[in-house]
Amino acid sequence: MKSEYIQTKGFKFKQFSIHGGESGMPVSTDGVMLGAWVNCSPQDIILDIGTGTGLLALMCAQRFPSAHVTALDIEMSAIEAAHQNFAQSPWSDRLRLHYTDVLQFEPEQRFERIICNPPYFNSGEQSKKSQRATARHTDTLQHSELLKRCYELLVEEGTASFVLPITEGKQFISMALQQEWHLSRLCRVQPSQKKPTHRLLFELAKQPCDTQETHLIIHSEEGYSDDFIQLTHEFYLKM
């Protein structure tokens, strides 16, 4: 770990900062929840697909002090932002960045964990900014292709973790089960007690397993819920 690193303006977490630059992936609650929820071992070799600004890779590097994280993206603006964020973090020696499509990515070894906040808009008007459109629409990476490639890139005991809106998440999980994946963890997320589930956090495994199901409510009447604070307190400054 580096003893010193440069801090510049951006979205500041407790141990690192995120600078979006021209990337189409600003810091989102979805990403923070996934990075805080993903289950890894301290020395895992982790792949972050569609890293954007590098948020998930940085969260994994913070949480798992001996893990090595490889991050991919197909947008140069995202690569530039992630490069800056990695370089300014205390864990730059454990973070690798590749400007490549996961479908063409050929690593030297397979991964123990994959983490991905995948594109999910299947239809509707594309975002006006091309980077934002790439980040959020499945035109550039179909979910079926993503699932197949994740399966190929994982070791036999590996897992892949994702976050999606509930409709797309259910479709994604159904597709995964048809491709011989197994659902190992599932968390249903509600914005508040009065609102329905709007996000799914889920982990897929290559090996047969039981499904561990949990539930998370983000907001209480007083502010953030105790469960959300417990999940994210290692990252948010005011938690």
| Nearest of 198, 153, 188 to residue 37 by alpha carbon | 188
Question: Domain 11-122+129-232: which topology?
Answer: Rossmann fold (3.40.50)
% of the chain at pLDDT higher than 70: 85
Q: Residue for token digits 């159904």?
A: 174
Q: What is the pLDDT of residue 239?
A: 84
Q: Which residue has the higher pLDDT, 222 or 22?
A: 222
Does position 22 have pLDDT exceeding 50, yes or no?
Answer: yes
Question: How much is the mean pLDDT over the chain?
Answer: 88
Q: What is the DSSP string of 112-173?
A: EEEEE----B-SSPPPSSHHHHHHHBGGGS-HHHHHHHHHHHEEEEEEEEEEEEHHHHHHHH
Q: Give 38-51 pLDDT, tens digit per residue.
A: 999 999 999 999 99
Distances in whole angstroms, Cα of residue 211 to Cα of each of 15, 185, 203: 32, 5, 9
Map out the domains of the chain as residue ranges. Answer: 11-122+129-232
SS3 81: helix
pTM above 0.85, yes or no: yes
Does position 147 have pLDDT exceeding 70, yes or no?
Answer: yes
Q: What is the pLDDT of residue 24?
A: 52
Question: Strands (DSSP E) along the chain, which ranges?
Answer: 11-12, 17-18, 45-49, 68-73, 95-99, 111-116, 154-165, 182-192, 199-205, 212-220, 223-224
Does position 132 have pLDDT exceeding 80, yes or no?
Answer: no
Q: Give 89-130 pLDDT, tens digit per residue.
A: 999 999 999 999 999 999 999 999 999 999 864 433 334 444
Q: What is the pLDDT of residue 120?
A: 65
